Structure 1
Amino acid sequence: MRTRPAGDEEGAGSSTPPAPPVSLLRSGRALLEHIGPYRWRIVLGGLLGLAGAAAAVGQPLAARALIQDLGRHDAVAGALTLLSGLVLLGAVLKALSQYVLAHAAESVVLNARSRLTTRLIRLKVRELERTEPGDLLSRVTSDTTLLRQVTTQSVVSAVTGVLTLIGVVVMMATLDPVLLWTTLAVVVLVGAVISGVLPRISRATAHAQAAVGAMGALLERTLGAIRTVKASGAEERETARVRRAAEDAWHRGVQAAKWQAVMGTAAGLSVQLSFLSVLGVGGARVASGAIEVSTLVAFLLFLFYLMEPVSQLIQAATQFHIGAAAVARLREVELLETDDAPPRPTRTRRRSPAGRPATVVFDKVVFRYRPELPDVHRGVDFEAPGGMTALVGPSGTGKSTVFALLERFYEPTSGRVLVDGRDILTLPLPELRASIGYIEQDAPALSGTLRDNLLLAAPEATEEDVHDVLVRTRLDAFVHALPAGLDTPVGHRGTRLSGGERQRVAIARALLRKPRLLLLDEATSQLDATNELALRDVVVEVARETTVLVIAHRLSTVAMADRIVVMDSGRVRATGTHEELLARDALYRKLAATQLLLPTPEGFTKAEASQG
């Protein structure tokens, strides 16, 4: 059973954790890392967009020529054809640009989700226990989605917007510098307002994304223990808790939407003010004879084309600040510590079941879950050279922690854990875990079919191997009775299986791997007497060729062990066989008389039992 470090509170309110400050520089670099593999596709989309913008910039000049031809009563077919061609060409190029960029954006999101998922599954156990699973899921789903907008509307729009803006400004300057300065004065005024709004958008988005993660964490907490919630009559309280988190996420989202609305309004306002200003000043200049009407019309058309790149830049800045908050949250996950990298898949021959059993040594092991917590192990010393070793002791003495250290879910604070005489910290993690079969106390099952669960640790197992292990664990009759046999779904977390069936599936899964070291954490606690007896015989058989460490609270399991390690207060109190420990260790006699359900041995008084 996984030990939860003390001091962690689950569901302690629905308030959103404070969002960390967003560094735009670091976020920009991280964003470029995500975009890097698709940069040429993005460049192509940008070039197509620029070509479309160039076709659009040429349209006001074609319109000016058309008006001039109409004024002179010249033929207008050429000017009209040119204008129509530019409109059609600009539309086609813009559509192609949008498709290419959208394709690239989806690829960026896919790559980010793949990287993040791979990292999440490989996170060290201690890192996973510090973070709510719902919040991690939010980062994979919600935060990565924002990368799509950033890719198309921030990076590319910024580049194409700047280049288009330069081109339009140059063309406007050739028409009338006075009207150009009138336009730029309005744009600069509105830009000053926008520059003050952008940081607020970044902060508001960071808080909104954190709020969504907190809501997901609370919902995952409730659904993960839904039977307990229902049995406790706590549906309304849990619903209210999630609802408060949802309202908090709504409030944060509204705050972000408010500042984005200000940005959008500022962009629209700049268009309207610029149009009115140019119309007023330009009308006066036409009346004075400084410019022709055709020039004013062309300038007004350029003005509308100017507003598109300006809007692009505003949207780019907005989306970058939104994306910066999302990228910062993704970066947090990328900084978490992971296990060793898995080996490259190769076709290797599976270990023979007659392979050498592993030897296990704990050498003065001290361990605590966090620096501020007390030691769980206080110098644990024992050996398991082979055969079957049982770990017994009162609850909280660190028995399950022995298994967690062997699997390297955690690492010792001091001391050494040796397998085959080698410190496991020097062993490649995949190699270490490949030699271990681990059966947890709650025997979890994964959503999927029964076959998926059996082959989880040994995907290369043959049908003969599967049939053999089903017979040994007495699952063959159960599987035969299922409507789809091994392809029958087991439900979310194995809810369609009983506790005993899940335990037998877990044992079968571990045996199918043919490990050199088998760890059983109260692996038969939910079995009936008949199946428990049969599986004990299987464990005894396995112990002839595999080192078995078992945590058990039943005398029937402990008594058949080759050696028994008695743990108390984070230390090894005594080691020996069942008969030896009954004769010389008071705590073991107490455990045998109570937890191990053995009648009090002759000569063992109640006073001794109370003293332990």
Structure 2
Amino acid sequence: MSNPMSGGGMAGWSMLRSMRSQDEVSTHRLKRGTARRIVAFAQPYRRDIVVFLITVVIAAIIGVATPVLAGDVINTITRGGPDAGDAVVRLALFIAALAVADALFSLAQRWYSARIGEGIILDLRTRVYDHVQRMPLQFFTRTQTGALVSRLNNDVMGAQRAFTSTLSGVVSNVIQLVLTAGVMFTLSWQITTLSLVLLPIFIIPARRVGKRLAEITRESYNLDAKMNATMTERFGVAGALLVKLFGSPEEEARRFAGRAERVRDIGIQSAMYSRTFFVAMLLVASLAQALTYGLGGWLAVTGAVSAGTVVTLALLLTRLYGPLTALSNVRVDVMSALVSFDRVFEVLDLRPGIEEKPDAVPVPRGAGRVEFRDVRFRYPAAAEVSLASLEEVATLDRTVNEPVLKGVSFTVEPGQMVALVGPSGAGKSTLSMLISRIYDVTDGEVRVGGMDVRDATLASLRDEIGVVTQDSHLFHETIRENLRYAKPEATDDEIWAALAGAQVADLVRALPDGLDTMVGERGYRFSGGEKQRIAIARLLLKAPSIVILDEATAHLDSESEAAVQRALSVALTGRTALVIAHRLSTVREADQILVLDDGRIVERGRHDELVAVGGLYAELYRTQFAVADSPTPYADEVESEPVVTTVPMGTYVAQEALPPAAAN
């Protein structure tokens, strides 16, 4: 005799999972057209889906046919006769054939399910990843990385279930329920009705268990998220250093252990609730089966039904409770899948900050001329670049930011070096980001090689422009792979030539693994000066015609700065250079100095000319540059930290920060 739970165990688990997520999906409002977009998204898999559903239907029919044949075997045995033996054998062979067919269809069903599901995961993940890569930089400064990764994992998996477990479950359960109920009522409506009486006794308490499970599961997810955030921060190099310098390892361990203990307690409660749920389902199904045997046996003794009918009804009963319990929560299952799709579409519907025109053309190779024509720019509001759900806030700020650049115009001729100086927040880094189209101008034009950068292909623009920032990032890969990020087809000879030009080849050769040395997270295995020179080698390998240096020597000690300056002298040879600097030595060498204040160019000229004028540049020279370059016993401390000096015109700092979500 089969287990009363054999047909309903998986359905029971599906029901439990549905009840856990019921609160979440009930509070999510779907956008109009979500279902239509899902159908369009599934178009490439329509043939696979049709074949998949056919296998599901056939499997459901076999599942109902087998108990009926088992009843026929009992009836044939009890009826007896000279041909009874042969009939039983034929029925047994037929049941065996159905079992083989069911196994084959089950394999086919799983193959098509995997093909559809994995294909959808591939399509969704690649589309979301590609789309996110095109989002403006401000999107990443506002968004929680974990929430974004969740869209690529959890929500994509949830969307995939719409075409596999949810779709197949609904179709299979509906067919199985209709066929099973139809056959059972045909055989004996009295037994069937009595069997269904106990169903509410199971479903009502199960819903309460599901609600409690939802509460503790949500708490567990929140605690897991906090522990993950703690580990991510503390296990990073910078976080680990901060804990060692200022924190208490014992206190960190105590706080972490407290959360982990609560997760353990929740795990025990969840396990008991889940087990109670399944025991309750098993008990109700067993009681229903006992009623079937009792009433069916009495009817069989009285001659109202045959013994085989009682066996058939008992077996069919195990295939009735599963679909009923699963379909009682089908709305939650469907809504969960729709919500997952909706959350993925939510990211895909965000407009990329930078889009390439269909008729874009490449920038002329070696075009080193840069021109700004009455450029105005403001950073987009939060509502333009982000999602409340990715920032874990109720609503996004819709305040329109003040302009950062206000009518900036200048020209850099090929081969020239132009230095940008000014107080923090003046717009220097912002201005440099407009050249490489990290952002697009709000008004005006930025031209490279005589072309508006918005008319150029992004690939050609990247090829022409190289950037070195004050904190150059290296991926946790080998030195070779980090350099080849700029030029994937680069040979080892080209890589060594770039390292030599960056004054770091001897260092790399001295490493045991040479080019195969792992640089560590963010390149922390190297000093600041070494990391900067590797970044300059990456720039040399790229060989751009325009170089942008954004505080490339900030935060370096004197020795490291000297090495980086030697590397930069090689990098800038024969190239157009736009340099954001607070070192006087760099500024003095510039062909032109642009002094920015409050988003405007207030002074321009060479060093001696601007000092003689006695304006803002002269004031910066007396405060920042002169102090930064003066030889003092504390030169290392002065040069390794931004110099902050208050002067009558305001407060000026030595370095330009990366523009925040709402830049000044």
Equivalence for 1:441: 470
Q: How does 1:64-103 map to 2 (within 5 A)?
A: 64-73=71-80, 74-75=84-85, 76-103=88-115
Q: 1:517 aligns with which of 529, 533, 546?
A: 546
TM superposition shift of 1:252 = 9.8
Contact 2:465 2:547 (8 Å CA) reproduced: yes
Does structure 1 conserve the Cα–Cα contact (< 8 Å) formed by 2:59 and 2:105? yes
How far apart in 2 are the matches of 1:380 and 1:237? 52
Alignment of 1:234-245 (within 5 A): none
1:4 matched to which residue of 2?
none
Query: Residues 241 and 398 from structure 1, CA distance in 2 versus in 1: closer, same or farther, beyond 3 angstroms?
Result: farther
For residues 324-365 of structure 1, the C-alpha deviation after alignment (integer angstroms, 9 at most, x for no partner) is 444443333223333556899xxx99986xx23131315242
- Is the CA contact (8 Å cut-off) linking 1:138 and 1:212 kept in structure 2? no
- Matched with 2:350 is 336
Question: Does the C-alpha gap of structure 1 residues 416 and 265 become closer, same or farther in structure 2, counting only changes over 3 Å?
Answer: farther
Q: Give the one of 321, 338, 351 matched to 1:307.
A: 321
Residue matched to 1:504? 533
Q: What's the counterpart of residue 359 of structure 1?
A: 370
Q: Which residue of 2 aligns with 1:467?
A: 496
Out of 60, 70, 86, the residue aligned to residue 67 of structure 2 is 60
Which sections of structure 1, spanning at least 5 residues, go unmatched? 1-17, 602-607
CA distance in 2, matches of 1:228, 1:19: 40
Q: Distance in 1 between matches of 2:258 and 2:349?
A: 30
Residue 8 of structure 1 corresponds to which residue in structure 2? none
RMSD: 4.2
Helix, strand or coil for the counterpart of 1:363? strand
Between 1:317-326 and 1:385-394, the stretch displaced more is: 317-326
SS of the aligned residue for 1:453 comes to helix
Contact between 1:340 and 1:429, CA under 8 Å: does it hold in 2?
Answer: no
- What is the Cα deviation at residue 437 of structure 1? 0.6
Q: Note closer, same or farther for the CA distance 1:223–1:484 as it changes in structure 2 (3 Å cut).
A: same
Find the counterpart in structure 2 of residue 117 from structure 1.
129
Alpha carbons of structure 1 residues 351 and 249: separation in structure 2 relative to 1, 3 Å: farther
Deviations 1:178-212 (A, max 9, x none): 33444456558867888999999999989977876
Alignment CA distance shift 1:380-1:253 (3 Å): farther
Q: Pick one of 293, 307, 316 that aligns with 1:293.
A: 307
* Range with bigger deviation, 222-231 or 534-543: 534-543
Question: Which deviations, in whole Å up to 9, do the C-alpha atoms of 1:378-410 show, x marking residues without a partner?
Answer: 443433234101111222322212223333333
Q: Give the distance between the partners of 1:236 and 1:372, measured in 2 at CA.
A: 46
- Within the alignment, does 1:21 sit opposite 2:27 as a pair? yes
The aligned counterpart of 1:382 is: 410
More divergent stretch after superposition (176-185 vs 160-169) = 176-185
Equivalent residue number for residue 614 of structure 2 = 585
Deviations 1:203-224 (A, max 9, x none): 9989977876666455444444
Conserved in 1, the CA contact under 8 Å of 2:475 and 2:523? yes
Write the distance in 2 (CA, Å) between the matches of 1:609 and 1:298: 94
Could you say if the C-alpha distance between residues 304 and 421 of structure 1 is closer, same or farther in structure 2, counting changes exceeding 3 Å?
same
**Compared CA separation, residues 426 and 389, structure 1 to 2 (3 A):** same
Distance 1:566 1:449 in 2: 40
Contact 1:205 1:322 in 2 (8 A): no
Is the CA contact (8 Å cut-off) linking 1:340 and 1:430 kept in structure 2?
no
**1:526 Cα deviation after fit:** 5.2
1:446 Cα offset (Å) = 0.8
Amino acid at match of 1:120: V
**TM-aligned CA deviation for residue 578 of structure 1:** 0.6
Q: Name stretches of at least 5 consecutive residues in structure 2 with no aligned partner.
A: 1-23, 382-398, 631-645, 651-664
Deviations 1:293-324 (A, max 9, x none): 32222222222233343355457655444444
Residue 276 of structure 1: CA displacement? 4.8
- In the TM superposition, residue 447 of structure 1 has moved relative to its aligned partner by 1.0
1:344-355 matches, cutoff 5 A: 355=366
1:47 matched to 2:54? The reply is yes
Question: Structure 1 residues 112, 271: closer, same or farther in 2, change over 3 A?
Answer: farther
Compute the displacement of 1:550 (Å).
Answer: 0.6
**Residue pair 1:593, 1:599 contacting (<8 A) in 2 also:** no
Give yes or no for contact 1:356–1:546 (8 Å, CA) kept in 2: no
TM-score, normalised to structure 2, is 0.75
Task: Give the alignment partner of residue 152 of structure 1, picking from 156, 159, 164.
Answer: 164
Residues 117, 164 of structure 2: 8 Å contact kept? yes
Change in 2 beyond 3 A, CA 1:23/1:454: same
2: CA distance, partners of 1:142 / 1:492: 26
- CA positional deviation for 1:414: 4.0
Task: For 1:481-492, list aligned pairs within 5 A.
Answer: 481-492=510-521
Q: Is the 8 A contact 2:479 2:518 kept in 1?
A: yes
- Deviation string 1:146-186 (CA, Å, 9 cap, x unpaired) is 44554432111111221222222332233223334444565
Aligned to 1:594, the other structure's residue is in SS state helix
Work out the number of aligned pairs and report it.
584
Q: Return 33-42 or 55-64, whichever deviates more.
A: 33-42
1:594 aligns with 2:623: yes
In the TM superposition, what is the alpha-carbon distance from 1:581 to its structure 2 partner?
Answer: 0.6
The answer to whether the 8 Å contact 1:465/1:512 transfers is yes
Secondary structure at the aligned position of 1:595 is classed as helix
- 1:604 aligns with none
* Aligned residue identity for 1:158: V
Instruction: State whether structure 2 residue 506 is matched by structure 1 residue 477.
Output: yes
8 A Cα contact 1:49 1:160, kept in partner: yes
Question: Which secondary structure does the structure 1 equivalent of 2:182 belong to?
Answer: helix
Letter matched to residue 95 of structure 2: L
Are 1:171 and 2:199 matched, yes or no?
no
1:437 partner SS: strand
Tell me the distance in 2 between the aligned counterparts of 1:199 and 1:171. Answer: 35
Distance 1:376 1:428, change over 3 A: same
User: Hey, what does 1:12 align to over in structure 2?
Assistant: none
SS, match of residue 597 in structure 1: helix
Given that 2:501 and 2:570 are in contact with CA atoms closer than 8 Å, whether structure 1 keeps it comes out as no
1:392 aligns to 2:418 (yes or no): no
**What is the aligned-residue identity percentage?**
31
Q: Residues 198 and 317 of structure 1 are in contact (CA less than 8 Å); yes or no, is this contact kept in structure 2?
A: no
SS in 1 for 2:95: helix
Q: Is the 8 A contact 1:390 1:551 kept in 2?
A: yes
Q: Rate the CA distance shift 1:599–1:142 in 2: closer, same or farther, 3 A.
A: closer
In the alignment, the residues of structure 2 paired with residue 109 and residue 600 of structure 1 have an alpha-carbon distance, to the nearest angstrom, of 56
Which is worse superposed, 498-507 or 86-95?
86-95
User: How many Å separate the matches in 1 of 2:281 and 2:356?
Assistant: 50
Separation in 2, partners of 1:140, 1:317 = 24
Distance 1:536 1:61, change over 3 A: closer
Partner of 2:654: none
Letter in 2 for 1:473: A
Distance 2:332 2:277 in 1: 8
8 Å Cα contact 2:362/2:457 also seen in 1? no
